[in-house]
Amino acid sequence: MISAGFCALPFLILFGIRKYIESKWGKCKNRIKLDGKIAIVTGANSGIGFEVAKELASRNATVILACRDMNKAKFALEKIKKDISSPVSLIPMELDLASLKSIQSFTEKFKDKFEYLHILINNAGLSNSHTTKRLLTDDNLELHFGVNYIGHFYLTNLLLCVLEKSRPSKVVIVSSKLHEKGQICLDDLNSVSRNCPNLYADSKLANVYFCRELSKKIESKGIDVFAVCPGWVYTNLFRHRIRWYHYIIFSPIAFFFMRSAKQGAQTVIYCATEPGLATGMIYRDCMMYESKHKFDPNVSTDLWLKSEEIITSILINFNPDVIIQG
């Protein structure tokens, strides 16, 4: 009896440490209902996006599952319906952030269907290995830059008019703590000539700059904007980087520090629902986060201008009449 107790003790201690660490991650405690609100969640079929979509739907929002694969979107919809016993309003819509055309078509269809948009969650993202060859979007942008940053930059700009009409409204941009290791190379945003940069971290830093600059531009429009670092979360994100031996090496660290998708979604839900948060700021663990990155206001404005230039140069090729403002 005593020896069984001794055997269990180390596991109880480890479990206790894990629970203690979990208690520091923060939880969205408000139970604010979202009746009559309309929300878009990009990448809602998996990981953090799925959990955010589920929570917003459970609070009675109409949630648009903006996904690149409609089968995955429909599968997610069925799963959410099964998980939530009460009726939910979920609409799957096709959105491929690797294609400006797809983003345009998504926003046009959205505006045809809906007059208002109260919550935009810019969540979708990808992370590919450093060693694979430079991958490109449909518009010849480096994949991380194109999907994680430019795609959401364009999507948000096209939706600004609906967000303004729906004031007070919110834009939540899912970044990462890795933004602190990122660089914005204004002369080579598309990473054509840079050697092995950390493309994922760079795109996440661009997300934070976007949040800061957007909050300045829309200060008086009743739209709040937040960047979120969700923590290290167990999702499909690193599927292109993970090798079998990583599971062995990292499992002890993961046991203590890796969040479930539901835990990773908490700060996103908090920013999407909590009233009175400071706009233009970074949030982590359901509180404001002081980044170690030294932000340069000139980079902020230049990145915005260059992003507009990049988008305009792509759009001119397939539709000279389209302008960036929605």
The residues carrying an active-site annotation are 200
Residue 182 sits in the site that holds ligand NAP (CB under 6 A):
no
Q: CA 196, CA 258: separation in Å to the nearest integer?
A: 27
Nearer Cβ to ligand NAP (155/160): 155
Q: Which of 104, 157, 166, 176 binds ligand NAP (CB under 6 A)?
A: 176
Nearer Cβ to ligand NAP (221/257): 257
Contact indicator for 48, 265 with CB cutoff of 8 Å: yes
Kindly state the smallest distance separating residue 138's Cβ from ligand NAP, in Å: 9
Kindly state the smallest distance separating residue 309's Cβ from ligand NAP, in Å: 22
Q: CA 204, CA 199: separation in Å to the nearest integer?
A: 9
Please give the C-alpha separations between residue 213 and each of 27, 160, 202, 208, 217, in angstroms, as whole numbers: 28, 14, 16, 9, 6
Nearer Cβ to ligand NAP (174/223): 174
Residue 303 sits in the site that holds ligand NAP (CB under 6 A):
no
* Contacts (CB under 6 A) with ligand NAP, residues 53-82: 67-69, 72
Q: Which of 39, 40, 48, 159 binds ligand NAP (CB under 6 A)?
A: 48
Nearer Cβ to ligand NAP (95/141): 95
Residue 263 sits in the site that holds ligand NAP (CB under 6 A):
no
Kindly state the smallest distance separating residue 126's Cβ from ligand NAP, in Å: 5
Q: Which of 57, 88, 117, 124 binds ligand NAP (CB under 6 A)?
A: 124
Residue 169 sits in the site that holds ligand NAP (CB under 6 A):
no
Residue span binding ligand NAP (CB under 6 A) among the ranges 38-46, 161-169, 179-187, 280-288: 38-46
Output the residue with the shortest Cβ distance to ligand NAP. Answer: 47
Structure tokens at 186: 């204004």
Residue span binding ligand NAP (CB under 6 A) among the ranges 16-24, 28-36, 44-52, 103-111: 44-52
Residue 174 sits in the site that holds ligand NAP (CB under 6 A):
yes
Q: Which of 55, 96, 142, 224 binds ligand NAP (CB under 6 A)?
A: 96
Nearer Cβ to ligand NAP (204/212): 204
Nearer Cβ to ligand NAP (47/326): 47
Residue span binding ligand NAP (CB under 6 A) among the ranges 25-33, 230-238, 242-250, 308-316: 230-238
Kindly state the smallest distance separating residue 271's Cβ from ligand NAP, in Å: 13
For the chain, the three-class secondary structure string (H helix, E strand, C coil) is CHHHHHHHHHHHHHHHHHHHHHHCCCCCCCCCCCCCCEEEEECCCCHHHHHHHHHHHHCCCEEEEEECCHHHHHHHHHHHHHHCCCCCEEEEEECCCCCHHHHHHHHHHHHHHCCCCCEEEECCCCCCCCCCCCCECCCCCEHHHHHHHHHHHHHHHHHHHHHHHCCCEEEEEECCHHHHHCCCCHHHCCCCCCCCCCHHHHHHHHHHHHHHHHHHHCCCCCEEEEEEECCCECCCCCCCCCCHHHHHHHHHHHHHHCECHHHHCHHHHHHHHCCCCCCCEEEECCEECCCCCCCCHHHHHHHHHHHHHHHHHHHHHHCCCCCCCC
Q: How far apart are the first and last CA of the chain?
A: 70
Q: Which of 132, 140, 236, 319 binds ligand NAP (CB under 6 A)?
A: 236
Kindly state the smallest distance separating residue 47's Cβ from ligand NAP, in Å: 2
* Angle subtended at Cα 177 by Cα 309 and Cα 207, rounded to the nearest 5 degrees: 15
Please, which residues bridge with residue 205 across strands? none
Contact set with ligand NAP (CB under 6 A): 42-43, 45-49, 67-69, 72, 95-98, 123-126, 147, 174, 176, 230, 232-233, 235-237
